[in-house]
Structure 1
Amino acid sequence: MARAQGARSQLAAAFETVYGTAPASGFTRMPFAASTLSAEQPLLSSELLGYGRDPLAPIKDAITSDGDLTIPIDAEAFGFWLKAAFGAPTTTGASPGPYTHVFQSGNWTLPSMAIETGMPEVPRYAMYTGVMVNQLSWTMQRSGLLTAIAQLVAQGETVASTSQAGTPAGLDLIRFGNFNGSIKRDGVPLGNVISAQITYANNLDRIETIRSDGMIDGANPTIAALTGQIEVRFADMVLMNQAIAGTDCELEFGYTLISGESLTFTAHAVYLPRPRVEISGPQGVQATFDWQAARDPDTGRMCTITLTNDIASY
């Protein structure tokens, strides 16, 4: 008897032309480490009286299709998630590359995706349509695997015994690592950083109308949020003075490979809170800044992401 195993699971994705309608072709095999994307339908217990102590049969509640994907931050596949989170990029470059893709915050219209997760042993192939990225987050640190978490909202799920994605196109897996990371403040390398966490949220508003199929009508982006955390060894007053003054700075989080691929995430106007500074023992003193980004009046946006690779277009 075959049993589903994560090692044999598959994930394919494609952008939709019409929200909630999976395209007939154009799927790409996507690398991932874990997935909680699924449909869920709870049961409502009966509240009726007069039938004895044993309850009557429960009824079905509304269906929810959402979940998280743990994905590697790499030079090619990560561009699909950036497009889903920020909208289509502006691409420059000529064949055979490299190509530079520039993503910007502030788009009111975001693309939707169709994502199929497959378990060939069962077999079970679940197609999720109308998938949109609600949140994208990751952590920079000195060591360990570099992965991001994409929080997804889908319109619905359709399960079949055969794949509906055809033969997905493949991508070269060119991963960035924490070793390749750097952080700059106003263009100058920021020292004494132990870890940094970045979270971009579209704050999607689900349109939960009454429908016979139990699906939502859509998910609209509202006011976005770019927040994070920087943990530093307390060695100077640069960040503390900025926090006290209430001024903003530009933070740039970047990764570069010797082969030429790069990813740069720039938050143009970052504000820092005044943190608590504690002395907890003989070790070095650390401070944690829970930063927030806002729209920069000079650039007209909150953040810019630049991805350089050999992909001609997303």
Structure 2
Amino acid sequence: MARAQGARARMALAFETIYGTPPASGFSRMPFASTTLGVEQPLLNSELLGYGRDPLAPVKDAVTADGDVVVPIDAQAFGFWLKAAFGAPTTTGTAPGPFTHTFQSGSWTLPSMAIETGMPEVPRYALYSGAVLDQLTWQMQRSGLLTATARLVAQGETINTTSQAGTPAELDLIRFGHFNGAIKRNGTALGNVISTEITYANNLDRIETIRADGMIDGADPSIAALTGRTEVRFADSTLVTQAINGAPCELEFSYTLISGESLTFTAHAVYLPRPRLEISGPQGVQASFDWQAARDATLGRMCTAVLINDVEDY
């Protein structure tokens, strides 16, 4: 009897034309490290009396479909998650490439996805429809594997014994690493940074209408948020002075490969809180800035992501 193993699991993704309706084709095989995407339907205990001490049968509650997917930040597949976070990009370039994909925050319409996770040895193929990206988080640091966590809200799950994704398109896995990362402040390299965590949230509003199947009607984006936490060695007063003055700055987080692929994420108006500077011992003094970004009045948006690769279209 075959047993499910994570090493044999697979994932395929395609964007939907109609929310909650998986397309018949157009799936791409997606690299991932782990996932908690799934469906829960809790049971409600019976409150009725008069039948003795033993309880009556429970009643099913509403369906909740959501979870996280941990994915590598790479030069090709990560563009699908950026599209899910910001909407379709503006793409420039001619075949055979390179192509420049520019994603901008502020869109009121986000694409929904159909995501299939498969365990072929069971066999079990779970197809999640109406999946919308709620949050995208990653961390920049000196070493380790570079991954991002995509938090999703889906409408429902369909279990099949065969794949509904057909033959997914294969993507080249060209990973960025922490070694390829750089941080700039107002166009100048920002030094003494130990680590930075970046979180972009669409703050989805679940449309929980009354339905016979217990699923949601949709997930609409509300006011977005771009926040982060930056740990620095306290070597100068540049950031502290900015925090005291209350003026914004532009922060640029980028990864560049020798082969030409790159990812640049720019927060155009970042505000820093005034940190507490503690001297906790003989070692170096560190400062933590829990920053937040806002809409830049000149550009009319909060952030921009630019991905350069040889993928013609997302």
TM-superposed deviation, 1:279: 0.7
Residues 1-314 of structure 1 mapped to structure 2, 5 A cutoff: 1-314=1-314
Q: Which runs of 5+ in 2 are unaligned?
A: none
Q: What do residues 192-231 of structure 1 show as CA deviations (whole Å, max 9, x unaligned)? A: 0000010000001000001011111001000000000100
TM-superposed deviation, 1:51: 1.8
**Aligned residue identity for 2:152:** L
Q: Distance in 1 between matches of 2:125 and 2:312?
A: 30
* TM-score (ref. length: structure 1): 0.99
TM-superposed deviation, 1:40: 0.5
TM-superposed deviation, 1:251: 0.1
* TM-score (ref. length: structure 2): 0.99
**Aligned residue identity for 1:270:** V
Q: Distance in 1 between matches of 2:210 and 2:119?
A: 32
Q: Distance in 2 between matches of 1:4 and 1:61?
A: 28
**4+ residue runs of structure 1 moved beyond 3 angstroms?**
none
Aligned length: 314
**Aligned residue identity for 1:61:** D
Secondary structure, counterpart of 1:290 in structure 2: strand
Q: Distance in 2 between matches of 1:2 and 1:207?
A: 40
TM-superposed deviation, 1:243: 0.2
TM-superposed deviation, 1:47: 1.4
TM-superposed deviation, 1:154: 0.3
Q: Distance in 2 between matches of 1:47 and 1:280?
A: 55
Q: What do residues 9-63 of structure 1 show as CA deviations (whole Å, max 9, x unaligned)? A: 0100000011110000000000000000001111111112222222111111111
Q: Distance in 2 between matches of 1:258 and 1:283?
A: 36
Q: Distance in 2 between matches of 1:277 and 1:85?
A: 35
**Aligned residue identity for 2:237:** M
Secondary structure, counterpart of 2:19 in structure 1: coil
Secondary structure, counterpart of 1:242 in structure 2: helix
**Aligned residue identity for 1:100:** T
Q: Distance in 1 between matches of 2:197 and 2:120?
A: 36
Secondary structure, counterpart of 1:26 in structure 2: coil
**Aligned residue identity for 1:118:** G
TM-superposed deviation, 1:2: 0.9
Q: Distance in 2 between matches of 1:112 and 1:52?
A: 49
TM-superposed deviation, 1:287: 0.3
Q: CA RMSD in A?
A: 0.5
Secondary structure, counterpart of 1:291 in structure 2: strand
